[in-house]
Amino acid sequence: MADHIPLHPVPRSTQRRAAYYTSVPAAQRHNSRYQVEDDLDEMPLMMSEEGFENDESDYHTLPRARVSHRKRGLEWFICGGWKFLCASCCDWLINICRRRKELKARTVWLGCPEKCEEKYPRNAIKNQKYNFFTFIPGVLYEQFKFFLNLYFLVVSCSQFVPALKIGYLYTYWAPLGFVLAVTMMREAVDEFRRYQRDKEMNSQFYSKLTVRGKVQVKSSDIQVGDLIIVEKNQRIPSDMVFLRTSEKTGSCFIRTDQLDGETDWKLKVAVSCTQRLPALGDLFSISAYVYAQKPQLDIHSFEGTFTREDSGPTVHESLSIENTLWASTVVASGTVIGVVIYTGKETRSVMNTSNPKNKVGLLDLELNQLTKALFLALVALSVVMVTLQGFVGPWYRNLFRFLLLFSYIIPISLRVNLDMGKAAYGWMIMKDDNIPGTVVRTSTIPEELGRLVYLLTDKTGTLTQNEMIFKRLHLGTVSYGTDTMDEIQSHIINSYSQMHSQSSGNSTSSTPSRKVQSSAPKVRKTVSSRIHEAVKAIALCHNVTPVYESHAGVSGETEYAEVDQNFSDENRTYQASSPDEVALVQWTESVGLTLVNRDLTSMQLKSPGGQILTYYILQVFPFTSESKRMGIIVRDESTGEITFYMKGADVAMSTIVQYNDWLEEECGNMAREGLRTLVVAKKSLTEEQYQDFENRYNQAKLSIHDRALKVAAVVESLEREMELLCLTGVEDQLQADVRPTLEMLRNAGIKIWMLTGDKLETATCIAKSSHLVSRTQDIHIFRPVISRGEAHLELNAFRRKHDCALVISGDSLEVCLKYYEHEFVELACQCPAVVCCRCSPTQKAHIVKLLQHHTGKRTCAIGDGGNDVSMIQAADCGIGIEGKEGKQASLAADFSITQFKHIGRLLMVHGRNSYKRSAALGQFVMHRGLIISTMQAVFSSVFYFASIPLYQGFLMVGYATIYTMFPVFSLVLDQDVKPEMALLYPELYKDLTKGRSLSFKTFLIWVLISIYQGGILMYGALLLFESEFVHVVAISFTALILTELLMVALTIRTWHWLMVVAEFFSLGCYVASLAFLNEYFGIGRVSFGAFLDVAFITTVTFLWKVSAITVVSCLPLYILKYLKRKFSPPSYSKLTS
């Protein structure tokens, strides 16, 4: 995919037209979407939206550019010349900045960093969001870019102006200060943790080779051109070219799980010119350099050359991906020495990770919209008041005072309550015993878990355990499963003991099978001999190397010296580039035929009787995604027989093997069971046949034109009429409960996309076995496309299919997105499931962003390896699994879980509850502010529109805190259905994605309730208390508190004992405070300054009148709620009844 990504492309079309509009700013010179075909192939792949603008925009700018040159002088400057100058200056500055950052190919001299022509970036890892200077401005900007917070800041600052001062300063600044302090503390702790992690990585020590010997250097001080020694199990600090190793074979294994998510080891080969040098120090006695292409995203490709100048003829050696050691991978065998070619920001691993963004939940954005609506209402109300007042006196000052008086319409406590609610949800998630080990790393977005529409998941290690187990061996007439493997073992033991006795008896070394074949080739083989052939083929046809861990911790050289004599079973592990191959070789070991040694030229097997059988490797044809098969030609040391073994996918092998009637059917059967199938075949070659082949093969390898095609043609000449030996089935075990979890998510209306770096066949197989694609569904496999025309045809073919899952490879996806982004995303979103295979980390993140951009729906990404980090950070909600591939994904994620099955409960129960509770809490807090503002409006209008506060400082603070906070906050304990019900009926989750719990409709209902209740409370207090008018504050405030407590009771769906405690505790606090705060219960200090007599409160009239007002304000709402439940019950109530 990314090997074609031009970082700063200058397409030919642009150069051709450059003469026309040199004065047009660079930003407008975009490629056109509708260019001629040859230009299409050069378009940058990761193209922005503006890049699709039509070329006409260029031509619109032509006349303008010419006209601007005609006018000169002052007139020209005033008419827009200043704009032109500014634009030119900006362009010039941008170009200067860009020029410095342009990535270039480089020549790196071995061990001579000082010879580098350019200055390359430091090799330091930096994951921090802020530095020392930007921390406070950065955090403040993140807070005040929200309208809600900015509004409070302005209101609080206005209190420093004497004419506008309404209450005490603390009533405004205390809540705001509290919110800011909490946020800053949280950010500072996160930032400090990031800093510590980076520091730990940057201060790891490595050995650097210099003329004077080895020197220890920090990882962050490594430069391009340094020769670095990396020991076994050490992380590779920067991108290097592999020069030497302690292994005799000249190759080593590295673990790449943190780079591409594959847990299998990769074989890397040292540059042969430097590997052949007698000693380490000779690296400085030669004059050599590496030419490397410019840094790019693609982790699977590299082009470069190694040149040695001081030898007789200059030695040139081509470098490919197998000669590289990328940063963030780990050396798995031996000690390696490499020359650094890319550092820091230019390493493949850093270029493939995206910067983490600050995630903001959808609920917070919706509340932000509602607060803007409230602000407009607030301004409108204040203008109405001033208008009714008749614009007398300094009306603008009165307008501002009204704005402040009604500022409670937008309550500061909204932020405090929601933030505390989020913390409470996080605590509940971490304390849930049903999902142990779950960690909430981003505490600001638990409600997002309740709004997800797309779930993008990794395959290896997320859906599967990445443990392969051999399940089935099929020989055409007989099939062996896990329970009949002991039969195979007894056959193998028999056949090898026969051979052994025969060879010792005859003193010749030919095997019985050879004699039978030569005399009568048509004799039908016995089952025993067929099993023997099949097992031998599986034990020989692979790319697996046995690795022995030495018990003494000595260096690599001695470790291998003792291995030659000691093939003991307990310290042997197998390494290969594919876990399937390891599973096959482990299985042959379990039935008695063990691979004990392998190097580049030979391999040794141990028979059940303990004999060592040696085979010479003549040729190896590795697996490629095009050929879908691998082959090997070996010569048996004892008999001199040459055999060509081959194994591969059924699609590739069915045409190669001799005619048979069972292969296709059995492959289908195994695939339906979710097994990965491989077909194994062989062909015996005579010495003459092999020599002829070898000559043609070597000639093809030396050709300059169409080398790959010619080599493939020579190999294909061997691949004819091969003898089919067997069909194997290997199972990649799924994680626990993957199938029911995926089914639950599907029923909840969540669309699941699987993005994996694995092969197409494997991905399709897992998609079927995990029930990501249900059995009845068709699967449309998107053909590989490389041009616009092919993509067009293939998309049309796909458009005609209905309700089928899509399987597409990363390269084809890239082509489709390049030309038909909108159409492709539209089609893919209609699919029930999508599988993208061979995806690079950047592509995964790109797909997430596409979905967000085109659908506007919430996305969730889940993965477990370093290659999933970009995708997890790009998604609205990232979930990491602590897996075998390390903790990188779980550290970068917003939520970290230990098993895939936990995601069901996390979304269906916690996500659903968090969203519903926060929606109720947010609206209730707004209602609490609206009701008091309505009362203030009624009060002011009755008293000749005076801008005097109805309730004094402490009453207002008390109202928002001690009197009503606990009952209102106890809404975070509310739930509409039990967790078991939510898991049993995932369809309940579907409703949430429509966002009906918090919308303008529900918000308007709450506004109407607030206006009705505020009006009743104030007018009721004024009507019933004509004689004791002084006590209007005490009466209305008491009724207000009772109304709020009753409203909480009305909103709650499931009672919790803490809710009852909160209700009574608040009521108790209020009654107790009546005695202490009596001076506040006058009507503002301005008017009467009356005190509250306790005698009056205890009278029956006070009590019945307060009760009457409260009943009138609440009873109609209770009746309405009862009728609604009766005639249009919500979906969940049907389940609870």
Question: Mind telling me the catalytic residues?
Answer: 458
- SS3 label, residue 511: coil
Three state DSSP letters for 793-841: HHHHHHHCCCCEEEEEEHHHHHHHHHHHHHHHHHHHHHCCEEEEECCCH
Distance, in Å, from the CA atom of 308 to the CA atom of 290, rounded to the nearest integer, reads 9
Kindly give the pairing relationship between strand 330-331 and strand 227-230: unpaired
Handedness of CA 236, 241, 243, 246 (dihedral sign): positive
DSSP for 719-776? -SSBEEEEEEEEEEEEPTTHHHHHHHHHHTT-EEEEE-SS-HHHHHHHHHHTTSS-TT
Distance, in Å, from the CA atom of 238 to the CA atom of 335, rounded to the nearest integer, reads 16
- Residue 1099: C-alpha distances to residues 553, 1095, 1102, 1103, 1106 (Å): 91, 7, 6, 7, 11
| Contacts (Cβ under 8 Å, ≥6 apart) of 902 | 434, 435, 438
Tokens representing 572?
Answer: 């042997």
Q: Which amino acid is at 370?
A: L
Distance, in Å, from the CA atom of 814 to the CA atom of 793, rounded to the nearest integer, reads 16
CA end-to-end distance (rounded Å), the chain: 55
Distance, in Å, from the CA atom of 912 to the CA atom of 991, rounded to the nearest integer, reads 10
> Are 873 and 892 spatial neighbours (Cβ–Cβ below 8 Å)?
yes
Tokens representing 366?
Answer: 């919706």
Tokens representing 453?
Answer: 């529409």
Tokens representing 696?
Answer: 């043609």
Quick one: angle between helices 413-431 and 362-389, nearest 10?
Answer: 160
Distance, in Å, from the CA atom of 975 to the CA atom of 982, rounded to the nearest integer, reads 10
Say which DSSP state 127 is in. -
Please state the length of the chain: 1137
Rg (CA), the chain: 38
Handedness of CA 637, 638, 643, 647 (dihedral sign): negative
User: In 3D, which of 160, 177, 144, 153 has the Cα closest to residue 407?
Assistant: 153
Return phi, psi of residue 296, to 5°: -145, 175
Cα 98 vs. chain centroid, distance in angstroms?
29
- SS3 label, residue 715: helix
Name the β-bridge partners of 895. 440, 879
> Are 418 and 918 spatial neighbours (Cβ–Cβ below 8 Å)?
yes
- SS3 label, residue 938: helix
| Contacts (Cβ under 8 Å, ≥6 apart) of 802 | none
User: In 3D, which of 16, 596, 547, 108 has the Cα closest to residue 324?
Assistant: 108
Kindly give the pairing relationship between strand 288-292 and strand 304-308: antiparallel
